[in-house]
């Protein structure tokens, strides 16, 4: 009602001849509309008794709302991630991970030999050369059937291995334990709960495929069913036209499905500053729209027809990709631009951006808070406000001067310097024509046009790199040092790839023979893109991670960006000053000195919330840093796609202003302590890696190889070692130097006693009773104890606690973990000794300050 009143008042004021006041009132009414839409979009929180996390299995009846690709899973199985909506009285969205193991796949599921290869069992291959090849890991085994490793992915995609894939509208029933969204309670942690809520997902679950019962009927809309079928058909066509590795890239770049992209490829695109190429974004829409409009105009279509067809195809493309806001933002902006063009109005990019942004904010005011919107909006805004004016004053006049070069009458309408340029160019072309003919003159003109185009691309790419430095550092903690050369090579190739791939897929439905030429062009473009990305992204210098910018840096960079855009149309002196300020701010963010948030004169011990794993940060009185463990999934890194090191541990360290670590210590080679270590080593490049025994372990061997490749010195420590570190004294209590381990075990744990003055912290890792019994004789007294093995009953034995006699204790444990940790016995032992105990599942990240005399616990603020 208030919005209507304000809007009517604005109209009345405008009719009275007060336009400025009317504009202010109109903007006020728009703000009221935005608040109204925000209120209407607020999620309705209702009680749903069927959604309980960490309890017993719940029977769920639901239907599929979003289908996913069937992909190979760990240990030879298959997996599919889908979204379903429950059919309870109070519907709720769930993310469901459907899987099957190698043992669960019947050998009869191999309906035909994959791609001409004879399917044989292990027994049939016994003693043959192929069996020897299998022993060398060249084959994958699924329920006794051997499939060549290089064909396994293709076999899955082509249906050679059966899997009860679930599609949109399917009704299903299953039993599963539901996992409610849980945030890691550390500063800088990703707000996973809001992420799930924004996607209307209330919980997640995992269930084996053979435990899902299909129900009769269909639940959904015919339109979405048509869209998903077309989407699935296009992906099938892509994998028919290109080999698996290239098809995965075409999937991501053209249709927006990145399910087949592996983690290393994704990381290379991120490091090289070309990740926007890998995902469907506004650039993809712009390229396709430009090519469509250009072709239609060449085919003599009128402006109205060309604009309408271009818009129709853009909307259709946005619907098929189903990527969401980034593509629709681009479609909206393009609609504003083409509409202005049809109405013969000035085609102002700034007006188009403003109109599109205003509509988006009115529809969903939360858009402003999204990184995707901010990056897209800032990118186009900088191009329009600074890039275009600079080009109009440098290459623009000369590019205009290349038009109608034969028309002398056109010269007087141009600036004097451009007219002089045309005159001199004609003289040069006359000489060239006499020497090499008209073809040579044409080549010179085309080369000159390409040179101007290359200049424009360099200017815009450089401007983008420095302009996006702040949001890239704030949201993704990356400084893309090779973004400029990478984009100079990749963007033109993408402009070739997009129309060629779309043409190949379209022609593929008519004839695969006709699709060959655009398919080959796509392959060549992909080869250039991947070669550039892997070449530059694989360089060590490209992987530059940065800490969260300080508030004053954010303010200074924002002001320099605003100044650069405002001064772009002023005199050259002011424009140059604005560009220098903007460049300096971007360089400061990427290569400026670190300002870690540490307390001098105290020993700080922080136990982070990493779920069911373990990770602690030690900061010494003089500022040296030691990270002990880096979390990870229980049971092995192959059981989870979530990288705790990248997504949990590193954000906390960046929020503390840390760019580098002095030392990283690995207590033992279990995945819940080691799983995130690889990412931490790459991001923070410590000088040393400490560990104890090195048992046989492929994962540990890979980690040590990665450390050595990064130039990190690997040091082993055993009981009896003692050395100073950053103003503290470290004593190693376990394991013994003669300790032998034939596989990674808890008693391999490197136990460190860190002393500062009269206060001591004992970091126990996962040491159990055997190791604790040995340490009891080594005077393990400590003011603070990091309890071993997440509070399991195998640790914190009574004799050991008596020897340590801690004042405080902290237990690193995951919320609602399936192991029932920490055990009540351990808590009672600690309570009987009046030890004040903290838990990361309840308290989040906990910091203890040891000043040499006393220990002070400090709960860390978190989202």
pLDDT digits (tens, 9 = 90+) for 171-185: 999 998 888 888 898
Q: Does pLDDT of 246 surpass 60?
A: yes
Q: Please report which confidence band the pLDDT of residue 38 belongs to, taking 50, 70 and 90 as the band edges.
A: low
Q: Does pLDDT of 284 surpass 90?
A: no
Burial class (CB in 10 A: 0-12, 13-18, 19+), 306: buried
Q: Does pLDDT of 117 surpass 90?
A: no
Report the pLDDT value the prediction gives residue 619, as an integer from 0 to 100.
Answer: 97
839 phi, psi to nearest 5 deg: -130, 135
Q: Does pLDDT of 66 surpass 60?
A: yes
Lowest pLDDT segment from 101-115, 179-193, 495-509, 770-784: 101-115
Greater confidence, 48 or 649?
649
Cβ atoms of 160 and 111 closer than 8 Å: yes
Tokens of 246: 């290239």
Report the pLDDT value the prediction gives residue 837, as an integer from 0 to 100.
Answer: 96
Tokens of 783: 């003011």
Q: Does pLDDT of 679 surpass 50?
A: yes
Report the pLDDT value the prediction gives residue 137, as an integer from 0 to 100.
Answer: 32
Q: What are the residue ranges of helices labelled H in 714-843? A: 769-775, 798-804, 824-832, 840-843
Secondary structure E strands in 608-671: 616-619, 625-628, 663-665
423 phi, psi to nearest 5 deg: -65, -45
Q: Please report which confidence band the pLDDT of residue 365 belongs to, taking 50, 70 and 90 as the band edges.
A: low
Q: Please report which confidence band the pLDDT of residue 212 belongs to, taking 50, 70 and 90 as the band edges.
A: very high
Greater confidence, 531 or 74?
531
Q: What is the mean pLDDT of residues 90-105?
A: 77
Q: Is there a cis peptide before residue 735, judged by omega within 30 degrees of 0?
A: yes
Position of tokens 């009896």? 720
CA torsion 670→674→678→682, rounded to 10°?
-160
Greater confidence, 742 or 608?
608
Max Cα distance, the chain (Å):
102
Lowest pLDDT segment from 191-195, 207-211, 237-241: 191-195
Residues with Cβ within 8 Å of residue 537, at least 6 apart in sequence? 267, 268, 269, 270, 271, 272, 274, 482, 486
Report the pLDDT value the prediction gives residue 404, as an integer from 0 to 100.
Answer: 81
Whole-angstrom distance, CA of residue 21 vs CA of residue 733: 76
Q: Does pLDDT of 630 surpass 80?
A: yes
CA torsion 784→788→790→796, rounded to 10°?
-90
Residue 541 CB neighbour total at 10 angstroms: 9
Lowest pLDDT segment from 145-159, 445-459, 802-816, 817-831: 145-159
96 phi, psi to nearest 5 deg: -115, 125
Residue 149 CB neighbour total at 10 angstroms: 13
Whole-angstrom distance, CA of residue 111 vs CA of residue 100: 18
Report the pLDDT value the prediction gives residue 640, as an integer from 0 to 100.
Answer: 56
Tokens of 233: 């058909």
Residues with Cβ within 8 Å of residue 527, at least 6 apart in sequence? none
Q: Please report which confidence band the pLDDT of residue 213 belongs to, taking 50, 70 and 90 as the band edges.
A: very high
Q: What is the mean pLDDT of residues 120-133?
A: 35
Report the pLDDT value the prediction gives residue 594, as an integer from 0 to 100.
Answer: 81
Cβ atoms of 54 and 204 closer than 8 Å: no
Tokens of 678: 């690889």
Reference 485, options 532, 543, 449; nearest CA is: 532
Q: Does pLDDT of 482 surpass 50?
A: yes
Greater confidence, 408 or 744?
744
Burial class (CB in 10 A: 0-12, 13-18, 19+), 177: middle
Whole-angstrom distance, CA of residue 262 vs CA of residue 241: 20
Give buried/exposed letters for 356-378 (b at 16+ CB in 10 A, else e).
bbeebbbbbbebeebebbbbbbb
Residue 646 per-residue DSSP state: I
What is the average pLDDT score of the chain? 82
Q: What angle do CA 199, 200, 202 make, to 5 degrees?
A: 115
Q: Does pLDDT of 141 surpass 60?
A: no
Sign of CA dihedral 56, 61, 65, 68: positive
Q: Does pLDDT of 413 surpass 90?
A: no
Share of the chain above pLDDT 70, in %: 80
Sign of CA dihedral 437, 439, 444, 448: positive
Q: What is the mean pLDDT of residues 28-48?
A: 54
Q: Please report which confidence band the pLDDT of residue 138 belongs to, taking 50, 70 and 90 as the band edges.
A: very low
Q: What is the mean pLDDT of residues 565-591?
A: 90
Whole-angstrom distance, CA of residue 294 vs CA of residue 693: 66
What DSSP string runs through 201-248?
Answer: --EEEEEEGGGPEEEEEE-S-HHHHHHHHHHHHHHHHHHHHS-HHHHH
Report the pLDDT value the prediction gives residue 282, as an integer from 0 to 100.
Answer: 72
Greater confidence, 298 or 123?
298
Report the pLDDT value the prediction gives residue 542, as an integer from 0 to 100.
Answer: 67
Whole-angstrom distance, CA of residue 160 vs CA of residue 110: 6
Reference 606, options 624, 623, 627, 622; nearest CA is: 627
Residues with Cβ within 8 Å of residue 472, at least 6 apart in sequence? 478, 479, 480
Whole-angstrom distance, CA of residue 535 vs CA of residue 529: 10
Greater confidence, 411 or 723?
723
pLDDT in tens, 535-571: 876 676 666 888 989 999 999 999 999 999 999 988 8
pLDDT in tens, 796-817: 999 999 999 999 999 999 887 8
* Distance set, CA 855 to CA 170, 216, 576, 752, 836 (Å): 58, 63, 54, 18, 11
553 phi, psi to nearest 5 deg: -70, -40
Whole-angstrom distance, CA of residue 788 vs CA of residue 136: 39
Q: Please report which confidence band the pLDDT of residue 608 belongs to, taking 50, 70 and 90 as the band edges.
A: very high
If residue 786 lies in a helix (H) or strand (E), which one and from where to where? strand 784-786
What is the SS3 assignment for 65-134? EECCCCEECHHHCEEEEEEEEECCCCCCEEEEEEEECHHHCCHHHECCCHHHCCCEECCCCCCCHHHHHH
Cβ atoms of 112 and 160 closer than 8 Å: yes
Position of tokens 């899902």? 212
Q: Select, from the ranges 133-137, 516-520, 585-589, the one with the highest average predicted confidence (pLDDT).
A: 516-520
Cβ atoms of 100 and 80 closer than 8 Å: no
Reference 47, options 89, 93, 94, 87; nearest CA is: 89
Q: What order of strands is seen across the sheet that includes strand 145-148?
A: 120-121, 145-148, 139-142
371-382 helix and 349-363 helix, angle to the nearest 10 degrees: 160
Report the pLDDT value the prediction gives residue 278, as an integer from 0 to 100.
Answer: 82
Q: Please report which confidence band the pLDDT of residue 364 belongs to, taking 50, 70 and 90 as the band edges.
A: low
Q: Please report which confidence band the pLDDT of residue 604 belongs to, taking 50, 70 and 90 as the band edges.
A: very high
Q: What is the mean pLDDT of residues 572-581?
A: 91
Q: Does pLDDT of 818 surpass 90?
A: no
Cβ atoms of 23 and 149 closer than 8 Å: no
Residues with Cβ within 8 Å of residue 792, at least 6 apart in sequence? 768, 819, 821, 822, 823, 826
Cβ atoms of 359 and 332 closer than 8 Å: yes
Cβ atoms of 633 and 671 closer than 8 Å: yes
Q: What angle do CA 760, 766, 767 make, to 5 degrees?
A: 75
Reference 130, options 108, 121, 106, 103; nearest CA is: 121
Whole-angstrom distance, CA of residue 541 vs CA of residue 500: 33
Q: Please report which confidence band the pLDDT of residue 651 belongs to, taking 50, 70 and 90 as the band edges.
A: very high
> Which residues is 723 bridged to in the sheet?
730
139 phi, psi to nearest 5 deg: -130, 155
């Amino acid at each position: 009602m208030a919005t209507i009143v304000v809007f009517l008042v604005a109209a009345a004021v405008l009719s009275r001849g007060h336009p400025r006041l009317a504009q202010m009132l109109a903007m006020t009414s728009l703000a009221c509309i935005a608040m109204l839409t925000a209120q209407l979009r607020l999620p309705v929180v209702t009680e749903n008794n069927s959604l309980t996390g960490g309890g017993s299995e719940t029977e769920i009846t639901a239907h599929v709302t979003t289908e996913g690709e069937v992909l190979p899973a760990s240990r030879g199985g298959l997996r599919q991630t889908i979204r379903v909506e429950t059919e309870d009285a109070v519907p709720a969205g769930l993310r469901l991970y459907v899987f099957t193991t190698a043992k669960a796949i019947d050998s009869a599921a191999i309906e035909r030999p994959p791609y001409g290869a004879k399917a044989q069992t292990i027994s049939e291959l016994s003693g043959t050369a192929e069996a020897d090849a299998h022993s060398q890991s060249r084959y994958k085994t699924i329920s006794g059937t051997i499939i060549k490793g290089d064909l396994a992915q293709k076999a899955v995609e082509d249906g050679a291995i059966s899997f009860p894939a679930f599609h949109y509208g399917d009704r299903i029933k299953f039993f599963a334990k539901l996992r409610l969204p849980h945030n890691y309670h550390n500063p800088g942690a990703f707000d996973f709960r809001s992420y799930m809520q924004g996607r209307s997902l209330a919980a997640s679950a995992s269930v084996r495929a053979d435990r899902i019962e299909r129900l009769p009927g269909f639940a959904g809309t015919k339109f979405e069913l048509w869209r998903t079928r077309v989407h699935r058909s296009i992906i099938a066509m892509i994998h028919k036209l290109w080999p698996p590795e290239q098809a995965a890239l075409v999937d991501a770049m053209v249709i927006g499905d990145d399910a087949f992209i592996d983690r290393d490829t994704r990381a290379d695109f991120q490091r090289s500053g070309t990740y926007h190429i890998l995902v469907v974004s506004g650039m993809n829409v712009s390229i396709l729209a430009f090519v469509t409009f250009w072709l239609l105009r060449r085919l003599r279509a009128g402006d109205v027809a060309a604009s309408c067809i271009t818009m129709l195809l853009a909307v259709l493309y946005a619907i098929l990709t189903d990527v969401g806001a980034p593509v629709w933002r681009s479609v909206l902006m393009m609609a504003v631009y083409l509409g202005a063009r049809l109405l013969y109005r000035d085609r102002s990019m700034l007006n188009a951006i403003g109109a599109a942004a205003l509509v988006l904010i009115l529809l969903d005011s939360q858009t402003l808070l999204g990184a995707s919107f901010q990056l897209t909006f800032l990118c186009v805004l900088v191009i329009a406000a600074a890039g275009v004016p600079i080009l109009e004053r440098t290459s623009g006049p000369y590019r205009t001067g290349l038009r109608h070069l034969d028309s002398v009458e056109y010269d007087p309408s141009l600036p004097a310097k451009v007219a002089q340029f045309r005159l001199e160019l004609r003289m040069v072309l006359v000489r060239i024509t006499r020497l090499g003919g008209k073809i040579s003159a044409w080549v010179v003109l085309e080369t000159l046009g390409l040179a101007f185009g290359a200049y424009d691309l360099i200017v815009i790419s450089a401007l983008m790199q420095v302009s996006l430095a702040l949001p890239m550092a704030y949201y993704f903690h990356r400084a893309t040092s090779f973004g400029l050369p990478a984009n100079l090579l990749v963007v033109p190739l993408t402009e070739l790839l997009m129309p060629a791939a779309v043409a190949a897929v379209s022609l593929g439905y008519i004839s695969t023979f006709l699709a060959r030429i655009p398919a080959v062009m796509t392959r060549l473009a992909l080869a250039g893109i991947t070669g550039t990305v892997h070449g530059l992204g694989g360089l060590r210098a490209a992987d530059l991670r940065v800490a969260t910018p300080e508030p004053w840096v954010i303010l200074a960079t924002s002001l320099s960006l605003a100044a650069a855009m405002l001064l772009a149309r002023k005199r050259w002196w002011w424009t140059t000053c604005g560009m220098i300020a903007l460049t300096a701010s971007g360089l400061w963010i990427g290569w400026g000195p670190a300002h870690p948030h540490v307390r001098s004169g105290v020993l700080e011990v922080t136990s982070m919330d990493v779920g069911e794993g373990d990770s602690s940060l030690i900061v010494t009185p003089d500022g040296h840093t030691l990270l002990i463990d880096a979390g990870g999934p229980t049971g092995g890194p192959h059981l989870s796609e979530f990288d705790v090191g990248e997504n949990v541990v590193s954000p906390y360290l960046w929020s503390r202003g840390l760019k580098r670590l002095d030392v990283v210590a690995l207590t033992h080679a279990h995945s819940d302590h080691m799983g995130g270590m690889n990412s931490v080593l790459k991001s923070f490049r410590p000088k040393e890696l400490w560990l104890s025994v090195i048992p046989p372990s492929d994962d540990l061997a890979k980690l040590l190889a990665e450390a050595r490749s990064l130039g990190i010195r690997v040091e082993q420590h055993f009981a009896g070692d003692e050395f100073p570190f950053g103003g503290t004294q470290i004593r190693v209590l376990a394991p013994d130097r003669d300790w032998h381990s034939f596989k990674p075990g808890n008693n391999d744990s490197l136990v460190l006693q860190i002393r500062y003055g009269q206060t001591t912290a004992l970091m126990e890792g996962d040491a159990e009773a055997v190791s604790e019994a040995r340490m009891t004789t080594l005077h393990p007294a400590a003011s603070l104890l990091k309890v071993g093995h997440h509070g399991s009953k195998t640790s914190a034995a009574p004799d050991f606690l008596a020897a340590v006699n801690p004042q405080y204790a902290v237990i690193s444990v995951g919320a609602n973990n399936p192991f029932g940790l920490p055990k009540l016995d351990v808590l009672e032992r600690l309570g009987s000794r009046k030890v004040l105990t903290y838990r990361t599942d309840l308290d989040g990240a906990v910091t203890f300050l040891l000043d040499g005399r006393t220990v002070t616990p400090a709960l860390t603020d978190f989202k």
